[in-house]
Amino acid sequence: MNRSFKVAAMCLALAVAGIGGASAQDAASAPPARGAAAIAHVQARVVGIDPVTNSVSLQGPAGRVVDVAVDPQIGNVGKLKLGDVVNIEYRSALLVSATKVKSNGIRERIDTQATIPASGGVMAQARVVEVIGTIERVDAKKRRVTLRGPSRTVTLDVAPDVQLAGLKAGDMVHARFESATAVQVMRDGQGIQ
C-alpha cells in the first residue's frame, strides 16, 4: 500500500511538469530531493479559481491546464480574475507511490492535506492526492507516468525512490502524489497578497 501512494504522487508531478514545457526544464536548477519536485517557472492564464482551497487552474503556453495549490502565505487567489495572466513559480506534482490493484473499472480520487519537509528545515503544506486510475503511459527514461483518473488524465514526474519496473500501460494502480504547489505568484509584476 505504501508503494502505491508513492506512484500516485509522482503521477501528479508529471502532469504539472507538462504545463511549463521547456520553461520548466530550464527552471530546474538542481536535482530534486527525495519526495520533492523541481521548481518550474511559467507564464500562464488563469482559467479556474477555487478560493475555498486557495488553488487555481492555469493554462500554459502549450494549452495544457494544471491545478496549482497556493499557500495562503504566498498569495490570495481570491484577488485573481479569470483570464488574468500570471507569472508563477511552482513545485511540480510528484508521484510518490503506485501499487497495482485489481481492476474493477472504477476510478476514484481522495484529496488530503499533509505537512512535508522543505529546504532549510522549514515545513510546508502540500495537497496529497490519492487516486485509483489506469496507467496510460510509462516513460522510464524521463521518469514520467501518465495516469487516467476519475476526472482527467495527468502526466506526473516520478520520485526517485519509486520503482517503475513492473508498471505498464493498462495497469490499474492505487497512486499517491503531491499536487503542484505555488512558490511565487505574480500578476503585473506584483504579488497577489
CB-CB contact of 119 with 31 (8 Å): no
What pLDDT tens digit does each residue of the chain (193 aa) get? 433 333 333 333 333 334 444 333 333 333 344 445 567 788 999 999 988 888 899 998 888 888 888 888 888 888 999 999 999 888 777 899 999 988 776 666 665 555 444 444 444 456 788 888 899 999 999 999 999 988 888 888 899 999 998 899 999 999 998 877 778 888 888 788 7
CB-CB contact of 179 with 92 (8 Å): no
pTM for this predicted structure? 0.60
Domain extent, residue 152, equals 2-187
| Number of separate domains in the chain | 1
Which is nearest to 97 in space by CA: 60, 28, 137, 145? 145
CB-CB contact of 93 with 180 (8 Å): yes
CB-CB contact of 46 with 58 (8 Å): yes
Kindly state whether residue 193 falls inside one of the protein's structural domains.
Answer: no
Kindly state whether residue 110 falls inside one of the protein's structural domains.
Answer: yes
DSSP state of 21: T
DSSP state of 93: P
